Structure 1
Amino acid sequence: MSLNASQQLKDIPVFVTAVEAGSFAEAAERLHLTRSAVGKTIARLEDRLGVRLFHRTTRSQQLTADGSLFYERCLRALEEIRMATDMLESGKQQVSGRLRVAVSVLFGRMCVAPVLTQLVTQHPELTLEFSFSDRLVDLVEDGFDLAIRNGTLADRADLIARPVATHYMHLYAAPHWLARYGAPQSLDDLADLPGLIYKYSNGPKAWQFAQPDGRIREILPPHRILMDDLQALADAAIAGHGIAHLPSWLARHALRDGQLVRVLQHHEGISHVAHAVWRKTPHLPPKIRAAVDLLVDQLEVRVNPR
């Protein structure tokens, strides 16, 4: 391969990232380059191709018609390279390379990471990279090999999902709080007791309980504390500020240490299924297979310890 052709191949991922990031500055951050380096790469590519790829102003950048055409062809080429790499990796017995995993902050830190970090001990040629964020990442656009997601999944023909664990929501309160206010005996009693409520951007989230007839009952108790962080809700419950509706994996240590007590044990909260999600490919890379198999084998026990 000539030096010119080799350089052009190196420039293409920079161009694609610049398009998808929406700005050279954001592309530079994603690629761990300077903004100047990204700009010079695009300029070099334009000079080599003899066309303008972007309309650039001080405030924005937009693809030209030639740029849009080139971008579509680059995506196809990069996908072919990825598929070829996956095909070769799938023929190897050794798990190697870099595995990029996207997980939510709390569930990822407490449940997923302790399981998957075992991979680097089991496979010396593997590098494991986690991204902890509650943002819903796009595996293709953001370049992740694997994501762990809770709850209902969007229907995507280009993705594969496999259930790896089920976790449950229950009600918890501090023993000293229960001694003061009394333990509720039914769901109806919650209408008279202060609750600690999770708050979404569009408002407070009602507690949900599965009913014998299959329906879901929603209850929003009286509340003066709302938080958009589950750990903060658990801490407030431990401090004796009310009843919290928490996932069992988050409450397990406080439950074991006697800081929290489960209330209304005969009323089941709804369950959430955690899925491992990866891009659909004809040949599953061994690194993804190893990660998913390990999650299937160990994550359920960590989420719901016996």
Structure 2
Amino acid sequence: MDRLSSMAVFVRAADLGSFAAAADAFEISGPMVGKHVRFLEERLGVRLLNRTTRRQSLTEAGQAYYERCRAVLAEAEAADAVVADELSEPRGRLRVTMPALLGRHCIAPLLMKLARKYPHLELDLSFADPIADIVEAGYDLAIRTGDLDDQSGLIARRIASQRMVVCGARSYLRANGKPKSLDDLAAHQAIIYRRSGRVRPWLFPQQDQPAREIMPSGRLRLDDLEAIADAAAQGMGLAWLPYWLVRERLNAGALVDLFGGQVEFLYDCHALWPRSPRLPLAEAHDMTQAPGPPLTPRPPSGRALGR
């Protein structure tokens, strides 16, 4: 007998709880299901299923073998699908979760371009700053920035970096002076980004050393980056923000980049997805050709968002 076929029958029998149900699923006879299971048991030299007239259950060895069989069958299906995908266009549903602002400004435009190109592709997008459990929530792909926490069961690829700049309005600088160095920041009002009750430091790279951390101080604390950019443009203080978010304000003169890109910090942007099953074909097609950050599980490009 073919071992892969017998594995598939065994897994289905375990999932459905009976040989009869597995026989119906594969359109074979009940005795043939039994032959497939016995073939595996004889080959392995262990009993995989305990069977009575009323019920069946996996043995301890059967449970371990069942888990590995599921993984093997999933990989076999993925291998078949790779070849099939080469002959077809992306289709099906792609569920993606991403930070709200980064998603709207940088990621969604790429996905919209992909959706226009491939009419059989469905997108299910979540714009949410709280980090979701990818597997538990059923997402195919997640976009995250900064340091990654627990990655167990996930594949992660750096897909881009986002420039961070210190900026302020001309009205604020006229009233309070322009800082000439990082040490001068302590004497200025900062508009503070507080997320999940935590104030995050401003980070600045140093030659061959860990990034310098400056804890901002000020009377405004906000949990929305867009609101911080608006407050900074109104002269309420200095802000440390992603370049892609304030680019238009800088170009229009509403904000000024205080250090001219000399001490900019790059936050890595990652794509994460479950190790199994594989992503739909959508993730493999042409996303690096669109403007903005690449969104594809390939080696990092080193691009900086907004450049």
Q: Does the Cα contact within 8 Å between 1:237 and 1:243 map onto a contact in 2? A: yes
Give the equivalent residue in structure 2 for 1:59.
Answer: none
C-alpha deviation, 1:91, in angstroms: 2.5
Q: Is residue 2:266 matched to residue 1:265?
A: no
Deviations 1:230-282 (A, max 9, x none): 11111100111010010111111111111111002264232111111112248
Offset of residue 146 of structure 1:
1.0
Distance in 1 between residues matched to 2:69 and 2:175, nearest whole Å? 66
Deviation at 1:90, TM superposition (A): 2.4
Aligned counterpart in structure 1 of residue 82 of structure 2, from 90, 94, 119: 90
Q: Write the letter of the residue equivalent to 1:126.
A: L
1: CA distance between counterparts of 2:196 and 2:279?
37
Q: Which residue of 1 aligns with 2:195?
A: 200
Give the number of aligned pairs: 245
Corresponding residue for residue 305 of structure 2: 304
Shift, 1:225, TM fit: 0.4
Q: 2:207 aligns with which of 208, 212, 219?
A: 212
CA change 1:283–1:133 in 2 (3 A) is: closer
1:3-62, Cα deviation, whole Å (9 max, x unpaired): xx9xx98xxxxxxxxxxxxxxxxxxxxxxxxxxxxxxxxxxxxxxx99xxxxxxxxxxxx
| Residue 295 of structure 2 is aligned to residue 294 of structure 1 | no
Partner of residue 137, structure 1? 132
Aligned-pair CA distance for 1:153: 2.2
In 1, Cα distance between equivalents of 2:119 and 2:264: 41
Aligned: 1:108 with 2:103: yes
Amino acid at match of 1:136: I
Q: Please report the TM-score for the alignment, with normalisation by the length of structure 2.
A: 0.68
Aligned partner of 2:230 in structure 1 is 235
CA distance in 2, matches of 1:157, 1:182: 48
Secondary structure of 2:231's counterpart equals helix
Contact 1:103 1:148 in 2 (8 A): yes
**Structure 1 pair 126/221, CA: closer, same or farther in 2 (3 Å)?**
closer
Does residue 279 (structure 1) correspond to residue 274 (structure 2)? The answer is yes
- Is residue 96–residue 141 contact of structure 2 (8 Å, CA) maintained in 1? yes
Instruction: Describe how 1:62-101 pairs up with structure 2 within 5 A.
Output: 86-92=78-84, 93=86, 94=88, 95-101=90-96
Map 1:29-178 → 2, pairs under 5 A: 86-92=78-84, 93=86, 94=88, 95-154=90-149, 156-178=151-173
Query: C-alpha distance in 2, partners of 1:213/1:269?
Result: 15
CA change 1:236–1:76 in 2 (3 A) is farther
For the Cα contact (< 8 Å) 1:176–1:240, is it kept in 2? yes
For residue 225 of structure 1, the aligned residue among 217, 220, 224 is: 220
Seen in structure 2, the aligned counterparts of structure 1 residues 225 and 89 have a Cα distance that, compared at 3 Å, is: same
**What is the CA-CA distance between 1:82 and the residue it aligns to?**
6.0
Larger-Rg structure:
2
Pairwise CA RMSD of aligned residues? 3.5
Shift of 1:217: 1.8
Q: Is the 8 A contact 1:248 1:303 kept in 2?
A: no
> How far apart, CA to CA, are the structure 2 residues paired with 1:74 and 1:237?
58
1:254 is aligned to 249
1:132-190: CA deviation from partner (whole Å, max 9, x where unpaired): 11122222221111111112223535322222111121101012221222211111211
Q: Quick check: 1:89–1:286 contact (8 Å CA) kept in 2?
A: no
Partners of 1:104 and 1:148 within 8 A in 2: yes
Partner AA of 2:82 in structure 1: S
How high is the TM-score relative to the length of structure 1? 0.68
